[in-house]
Structure 1
Amino acid sequence: MAGDGLRIRRRSVLSATAVALSGVAGCSDTLHGTDGQSVTVSMLAAGSLNNALENGLRPSVDTTVQIEAHGSAEVARLIAAGQKDPDIVSIADIALFDSPRQPDWFAEFATNSIVIAYNPNTDGGKQLADAGTENWYRPLLNGDITIGRTDPDLDPLGYRALFMLELATAHYGTDTNLRDAIPQTEQIYPETQLISQFETGSVDAAIAYRNMAVERGYDYIDLPAEIDLSEPSYTDTYESATYELPSGTVVSGGLISYGATIRNHSPAAVDVFSEHITGEYLNEFGFVVPDDYPRFTGNAPDEVTN
């Protein structure tokens, strides 16, 4: 599979087993409430975190963890509307914490990048592999390849896909506006189901987070740092792209950064949260953890930061 500057990765499917602990360890015994019943910690999280939380975080703590995943914008909406009150909330864009119900503190704990994941067994996937990092958009403009994405009104991956296409238009110097020309409404899927569309044959490719391709073992094309929303030195460039959510909130492009906070404080929630933001499972499931993470904003409790 040749192509200009092509950088394609293949990863084996990760085992759903416990991973080595890093940072603050979980309690040695199952935590119990005052009535002797085991404690359950609820998490409302970004869809792109779901597999890592279910198969990486959950086995690494002794506390029972109840996980519900949606697009991060939907997570923020559910909380703002009072429809959900999780112990821990974890989202894929810290900008969504900037709302009337902004938490007192949150921790940035991982980053990611936008990639083009593809199915190498379809004609469309093979065309993308041949086009590579510098020309992947060309076969997409021909209309012969189906490429899935998520709803920009519901989660950051959806609007980040649009940011990437807008930035790509300028980066590659195309005559066609890629943000207008490539996305198709009928190819929008929930974040938790996006990559699984490969298995049903619904799409040849998807605009996805790197971790989504890594943890499911799919081929993907790395995009230039100027457009993949992963490189801090290009933050000013990323911020030139914007999207208005149905609420009227305008979000800007920027470095992808995941953030989490505890809403309902308890020893069990602290235990789970500490492993969530420091656990080695994050690397195992394809996320990138910079050296200065976790990074706290606001007045975080001492038992969380120490």
Structure 2
Amino acid sequence: MLAAGSLNNTLENGLRPSVDVTVQIEAHGSAEVARHIAEGQKNPDIVSVADVTLFDSPLHPDWFAEFATNSIVIAYNPNTEGGQQLADAGAENWYQPLLRGDVAIGRTDPDLDPLGYRALLMLELATEYYGTDTDLREAIPSRKQIYPETQLISQFEIGAIDAAIAYRNMAVERGYEYIDLPAEIDFSDPSYSDTYATSTYELPSGKVIRGGLISYGSTIRDQLPSVVDVFIEHITGEYLNEFGFVVPDDYPQFTGNAPDEVTN
């Protein structure tokens, strides 16, 4: 499996123990996953990404399944001064200590994974939502904040950062406190899809990403019976809820010509 970094712990400790075959898991930012496959550098049996638009380009599978959703949160370490300032600021004022430079915050690379560009899109929407005089997307980000997705929250343990712009599941699975952002800016609520779409980010390839509902997608590239069995558990397993993902009642949803052995 080649998968989004935000899925790594969930797959290693949730999916792997629930299946009877050996599963090798390699995780990167989703844009990096897509690029590895599109350029022929990797040839996984299963690919799972944190943004289904990557299945439009650069990946072009015949079909895929949307299997979980998520939300953007501000995760923080309550045992640091910066983390406590965020806790005190709460959902209405979290950006203020960031603007003052009182909090060391981490994020991921927007050119490598959806979490990275969703962090910037969230800050763009937050400027409008909170009506700030300062452009939060311009004022808060800096290159020194960037960490690999698979290592982002672990930076709390070594004291490198006080907080992180992260997915909800990343905070839940490590037991860290987090600030739930308003639905208008956290990419979790389909009723705000038009609002999300007003934010954009251009990848190095020239592809322009529009903000949208967070939806994880997966497809298989080799329909061996063992692969199909792992895939079905991957997109339907109870482990997803246990590790902090949200699975709507109508998921998984299939796009394209999915094989009968997967959909039935």
Does TM-score exceed 0.5, indicating one fold? yes
Structure 1 stretches (4+) deviating beyond 4 angstroms? none
Greater CA radius of gyration, 1 or 2? 1
Shift of 1:265: 1.4
Shift of 1:180: 0.6
Give 1:206's aligned residue: 164
Shift of 1:197: 0.4
Q: In the superposition, relative to structure 1, how do residues 100 and 205 fare at CA in structure 2: closer, same or farther (>3 Å)?
A: closer
Match of 2:239 among 281, 285, 293: 281
Matched position secondary structure for 2:84: helix
Give 2:8's aligned residue: 50
**Match status 1:96 vs 2:73:** no
Q: Percent identity?
A: 83
Structure 2: distance between partners of 1:170 and 1:251: 19
Shift of 1:101: 4.0
Q: Which runs of 5+ in 1 are unaligned?
A: 1-42
Structure 2: distance between partners of 1:199 and 1:223: 24
Match of 2:22 among 57, 61, 64: 64
Contact kept? 2:34, 2:59, Cα under 8 Å = no
Deviations 1:174-202 (A, max 9, x none): 00000010111101000000000001110
- Amino acid of the residue matched to residue 178 of structure 1? L
1:116-265 equivalences under 5 Å are: 116-265=74-223
Structure 1: distance between partners of 2:3 and 2:35: 12
- Amino acid of the residue matched to residue 40 of structure 2? G
**Match status 1:78 vs 2:25:** no
Shift of 1:173: 0.2
Deviations 1:32-89 (A, max 9, x none): xxxxxxxxxxx00000000000000000000110000000000000000000000000
Structure 2: distance between partners of 1:191 and 1:159: 12
Matched position secondary structure for 2:156: helix
